[in-house]
Amino acid sequence: MARNTVKQDEDVQKHSKREIIMRLSKYLRPYTKQVTLVVALLIFVMLTGIVNPYLLKIAIDENIQNSDLRGLLIIGGVMLVLNYLALIASRVRIKVMASVTNNILVNIRHELYSHIQKLSFSFFDNRPVGKILARVIGDVSALQDLFNNSVTSFIPELLSLICVGIMMFTMNYKLALLSVAILPLLSVAMFLIETRSRKRWQEFRKKRSNINAFTHEDFSGIKIVQGFASEEHSSKTFNSLSRSMMESFMHAVKLNDLFWPLVEISWGIGSLIVYWYSVYLLGLNDGNITVGTVIAFSSYIGMFWRPIMNISNFYNTLITNFAAAERIFDIMDIQPDITDSATDVKMPKIKGNVEFKNVTFCYEEGVKVLDDVSFKIPAGETVALVGATGAGKTTIVNLISRFYDVTSGEVLIDGTDVRSVELESLRSQMGIMLQDTFLFSTTIKENIRYGKLDATDEEVIAAAKAVNAHEFIMKLPKGYETDVNERGSRLSVGQRQLISFARALLANPRILILDEATSNIDTATERLVQKGIQKLLYGRTSFVIAHRLSTIRDCDRIMVVDDGRIKESGTHEELMKLKGSYYNLYMSQYKFLNEGA
């Protein structure tokens, strides 16, 4: 069971760091006021922390040395009030920033989801659903720490670093220079780590996407897996993908984990140099440095390196999540093949005249699925498309709905090229029922109502009665309020198709497309459905694709599609008299059914 699409690493368009940062920053702009408040509160907390050592220096060098109890109590009271206010400020900024971050993630996820909905079928043809879900859910969630830390860590820590640096150079520039002497070496080391780390995290996200895709596909097809007793094979594949993801994660983490030790070592070396030189200066006893200055400076050393530690941690988070942002923007940069243009107009109410003018279509360049197809269908006519699998029947109805654009030629509805009208105004007037019946994880009533979202309960029930679904629905435990489970798993294939048929008919479309709509309904049920659809087909243009030729005998026209061309066209009686391709297809099915009986 080779599943190349789920196990193969995705190609992701590369983006520069600057581009990613600029694109991410635009999501912060709507929350400028909240971010400004958070930064102001952080600055207050930061300044409180910076002032504390200085007040301690004054308390030691002046109040304690001069036995000034009153001054000592005043300084203690000031420190107590400032730190209490800083505690309140910290709580407020955490709450505000959490709200901002979560709102940003919701906005990004909604933007990505909306964009994916607009993408053409070709996008979904080439990507497993699991890999798309990995980007919508996992990659977007990975940005939470990035947005939170960009405001709560990077900005205030950078300001803190600057302020502490100023205080250190003001107190003693020689000690300050010794404190920062090792920074150039640290910067070079971190740059070298970053250049390799980003590639490793990109690799990890690809491997994680693979396992998401495999898991989604495997559980979606669990009946096939169990039916062919392939659990062991699937488990081996899953373990292989899990091991690959774990190895890529460890490969990335090992490099990332060098950030903290490098900063810790640099901090330690810088502190040792400063302490050594401070002891040397105190030994000179020339009055250039006091004990209070040394104590205050030792506190500032910690306050200087702690922001560097936090900034490096933010940088680490930035590199880790660049891959996630890159994967999100990779999809957002994909342009739909089918889009509305500025000159497109709304499609007027469709009468139902359909014309193909010299239509040629290729899914892959150079491989023609339809080859110079031309025909005219007047409004209200029911047309059956028959032919071998892969002949081009479904492609014809896909072009009418403009799920794809023609390679050459024109598809006209009421004389209007479908490429010149807004997609929503075109498709909203069509009803489509595909062979692959899909039901949503909700009630039967809501699944039918999906064809017309503002439909009343009476309209829903009327549509169900028209296709003879009402009787079996009422026999279910909760009738129309019965949940169908994911993909309608609690219903039979025939029941799912009847519900899907009612959904298509509820839309009251001007053009109705039935792609193998009755293929999975038993013969007795099919007779009931045929009675219902005859009323609903009346007055609208309908295209019916069916391999079971007995179901399309009464169609106004039957077109035989063969090798991308319309080989024959006419009524059932006309084509039978012609004794061509349709005659041979019909007789072979008739003979097969008789032999089966």
Domain range annotation of the chain:
10-332, 349-428+514-520+541-597, 430-508
Coil vs helix vs strand at 57: helix
Tell the CATH superfamily of the 349-428+514-520+541-597 domain.
P-loop containing nucleotide triphosphate hydrolases (3.40.50.300)
Which pLDDT score, from 0 to 100, does residue 2 have? 42
How confident is residue 314, by pLDDT bands cut at 50, 70 and 90? Answer: confident
What percentage of residues in the chain have a pLDDT greater than 70?
88
Q: Which two tokens stand for residue 291?
A: 């004990």
How confident is residue 9, by pLDDT bands cut at 50, 70 and 90? Answer: low
Task: Please provide the CATH number assigned to the domain covering 430-508.
Answer: 3.40.50.300
- Cβ atoms 482, 443 nearer than 8 A: yes
pLDDT digits 0-9 by tens, 132-149: 887 788 788 878 777 777
Which pLDDT score, from 0 to 100, does residue 256 have? 72
Highest mean pLDDT among 87-91, 190-194, 290-294, 494-498: 87-91
Average pLDDT over residues 179-184: 78
Which pLDDT score, from 0 to 100, does residue 356 have? 96
Q: What is the pTM of this model?
A: 0.64
In order of 379, 467, 511, 534, the CA distances from 382 in angstroms are 9, 18, 10, 10
Q: Is the pLDDT of residue 346 over 70?
A: yes
Which pLDDT score, from 0 to 100, does residue 113 have? 87
- Cβ atoms 403, 121 nearer than 8 A: yes
Q: Is the pLDDT of residue 475 over 60?
A: yes
Q: Is the pLDDT of residue 5 over 60?
A: no
Confirm whether 349-428+514-520+541-597 and 430-508 share one CATH topology. Answer: yes
How far is 183 from 303, CA to CA, in rounded Å? 15
- Cβ atoms 304, 155 nearer than 8 A: no
Positive or negative, the CA dihedral 531, 532, 536, 537 is negative
Tell me the sheet residues that pair with 417. 412
Average pLDDT over residues 436-449: 84
pLDDT digits 0-9 by tens, 20-74: 888 888 888 888 888 888 888 888 887 887 787 777 777 777 767 677 777 778 8
Which pLDDT score, from 0 to 100, does residue 597 have? 45
Which pLDDT score, from 0 to 100, does residue 436 have? 66
Which pLDDT score, from 0 to 100, does residue 361 have? 94
Residue 400, amino acid:
I
Residue 483, amino acid:
D
How far is 114 from 116, CA to CA, in rounded Å? 6
CATH architecture of 10-332: Up-down Bundle (1.20)
pLDDT digits 0-9 by tens, 106-133: 888 888 888 888 887 777 777 777 778 8
3-state DSSP of 454-516: CCCHHHHHHHHHHCCCHHHHHCCCCHHHCECCHHHCCCCHHHHHHHHHHHHHHCCCCEEEEEC
